Amino acid sequence: MNLNESDTEINEVIKAYPPERQNSLPIMQDLQKKFGYIPRNAFKKIGLYLSCSEAHLYSMATFYKALSLVPQGKHVIRLCDGTTCHIKGSVQLRDEITRLLGIRDGETTSDRLFSLQLVNCIGTCAIAPAILIDETYYGKLTPADLPAILNRYRKLEEEREREHEEENGMENGEKNEKEEKS
């Protein structure tokens, strides 16, 4: 994850909306979506653009659950703790995720791969207990199902890294070849 979001990137998101105060929430939601959190330097920019105080924006960012002030992991695990999931065992799932990943609600793993968020309802009560990882739903889970699901994302990440390395390697190789030829 890029932790130094550039001013241009932030401005791009902000300027997509007309400068009216009612757009403060959508702007912050878009920033959240793009960066996984609201970068600190964004508040000043939004405030200037919408003519409202930074304090006002902070109060919104801390009030609404969809917004976060700290960066999130690559894969956000939304563990549903809606009523149905709760009576069907979401607590067991939570304990198991904490046991497997060592993170609690709102925390991110040290390798920044996973974040865990306890959410109130993801609207899949009929297949409770359920979790939503990024945009994929997993329903009717038992704690025993979790290791396989989490490993899938770990493997995906490993593969991606390997491909990335190979690509880099190839690029370097090509460059070397080209250099040799010239």
Binding site for another protein (CB under 8 A): 20-26, 29, 50, 52, 56, 59-60, 63-67, 78, 81-89, 91-92, 95-96, 99, 119-128, 130, 135, 137-139, 142-144, 146
- Token pair of 111 as six digits: 């390798």
In degrees and rounded to multiples of 5, residue 4 shows phi and psi of: -115, 75
Rg of the chain over all Cα atoms, to the nearest angstrom: 20
Q: Closest separation between CB of residue 12 and another protein, Å?
A: 19
In degrees and rounded to multiples of 5, residue 58 shows phi and psi of: -60, -45
Q: Which is nearer to another protein, 116 or 119 (CB)?
A: 119
Q: Closest separation between CB of residue 119 and another protein, Å?
A: 7
Q: Which is nearer to another protein, 10 or 146 (CB)?
A: 146
Q: Closest separation between CB of residue 101 and another protein, Å?
A: 14
Q: Which is nearer to another protein, 10 or 141 (CB)?
A: 141
Q: Closest separation between CB of residue 14 and another protein, Å?
A: 14
Q: Closest separation between CB of residue 66 and another protein, Å?
A: 4
Q: Which is nearer to another protein, 8 or 126 (CB)?
A: 126
Do 78 and 85 meet the contact criterion of CB atoms below 8 Å apart? no
Q: Which is nearer to another protein, 86 or 112 (CB)?
A: 86
Q: Which is nearer to another protein, 51 or 182 (CB)?
A: 51
Q: Closest separation between CB of residue 131 and another protein, Å?
A: 10
